[in-house]
Amino acid sequence: MPAWVEAILLGIIQGLTEFLPVSSSGHLELAKYFLGDQRLSDSSMFMTVLLHFATALSTVFFFWSDIKSILTGIRGRDSQAYIIFILISMIPAVIIGLAFETIIESFFSGNVVLICGMLLVTAILLLFADFSKSKKKPLTNSSALIIGIAQAIAIIPGISRSGATVATSIMLGIDRNHAARFSFLMVIPLIFGKMAKDVLDGSLLTFAKGDLLYYFVGFTTALIVGYLTCKFMVGLIKRAQLRYFSLYCILISIATLSYYFIK
């Protein structure tokens, strides 16, 4: 398969699954497993980070008016409170990411059984959330921390970050619209922070220079598809239809495990 076709496929997968509650990292690892291309494993972590960066940018573009009002303090105390909520939500992921960086990177090595098991965990979370009643509670420091813990756990490929954070928010009684927006906004500083850290320590510079077009095509595809999917997903969460994604996670997990053990 041509490199540019693989890049488009990975970009589409990342763009779709970053916002759909089905685990983007898990799907990327499964895609690498099924594609079986050596190029993917050689620079696997770089491509994964790059594609996540693309979808983080698409989030910025989609929520730009919200981000601008928060950063400029247009909403007064609400803006300040929201910034604090995001900072609090980052704490668990930062601690776990720094303390267990080597272990976390080992998860991104085509561990199909682990990924499928975590997809089943995602399915259960989505079912619980879909049947939870929205009580329209406001975000608080404690709820932001709990949602942040869910985000930290979702570092494991197969557990959907958006699924875990949205599901946790809904089960905490937070309005579905606010749950979706907070889930998508809270990850932006984490991804940018990860990119900055990798640039500073030089790890992000370890990529195949001959594959620059491959990276560019994947990045651009993830950016465009991510923006469109983010717009779709925000509306979908309001309508409480997460159970269909739960069913999908179950089916893809069973199908992949069957192939893995039978082949």
DSSP letter, residue 139: P
Tokens representing 195?
Answer: 């990119």
State mean pLDDT over 207-234: 86
Q: Decide which of 162 and 88 is more confident.
A: 88
The whole-number pLDDT of residue 208 equals 62
Residue 216 has pLDDT above 70, yes or no: yes
Tokens of 55: 């979808």
Say if residue 235's pLDDT is above 60: yes
- pLDDT at position 252: 94
For the stretch 56-98, pLDDT in tens is 899 999 999 888 888 877 656 678 888 999 999 999 999 998 8
> 163 versus 49: which is more confidently predicted?
163
pLDDT at 39: 52
CA distance 48 to 28: 8
Q: What's the confidence (pLDDT) of residue 47?
A: 78
3-class SS of residue 174: strand
First to last CA, the chain: 21
Q: Could you give the CA distance from residue 65 to residue 145 in angstroms, rounded to a whole number? A: 25
Indicate whether 43 pLDDT > 70: no
- Select the highest-mean-pLDDT range: 1-15, 26-40, 201-215, 221-235: 221-235
Please report, rounded to a whole number, the percentage of residues in the chain having pLDDT higher than 70.
Answer: 89
Give the whole-angstrom CA distance, residue 257 versus residue 119: 11
- Is residue 9 over pLDDT 70? yes
Q: Would you place residue 206 in the very low, low, confident or very high pLDDT band (cuts 50, 70, 90)?
A: low
* Contact yes or no for 153/159 (Cβ under 8 A): yes
Angle at 128 between CA 127 and CA 133, to 5 degrees: 115
Beta strands, E only, the chain: none
CA distance 106 to 111: 9
pLDDT confidence bin for 44, thresholds 50/70/90: low
Q: Comparing 45 with 97, which gets the higher pLDDT?
A: 97
CA distances from 235 to 47, 181, 228, 252 (A): 29, 11, 12, 24
Q: For 173-186, what is the mean pLDDT?
A: 88
pTM above 0.75, yes or no: yes
**Helices marked H in 108-160:** 112-130, 141-153
Q: Across the chain, what does the average pLDDT equal? A: 85
Check residue 130 and give its pLDDT: 83
* The predicted structure's pLDDT at residue 204: 59
CA 56 – CA 183 distance, rounded (Å): 12
Q: Which of these, 154, 157, 185, lies nearest to 167 by C-alpha position? A: 154
Confidence of residue 117 (pLDDT cuts 50, 70, 90): very high
pLDDT of residue 240: 63
Q: What pLDDT score does 32 carry?
A: 76
What is the helix, strand, coil percentage profile of the chain, to 5?
80, 0, 20
**What is residue 137's three-state secondary structure?**
strand
Q: What angle do CA 108, 113, 116 make, to 5 degrees?
A: 90
Q: Give how far the C-alpha of residue 52 lies from the chain's centroid of Cα atoms, to the nearest Å.
A: 7
pLDDT over threshold 60, residue 40? no
Query: What's the average model confidence in pLDDT over 133-153?
Result: 90
Count other Cβ atoms within 10 Å, centred on residue 200: 9
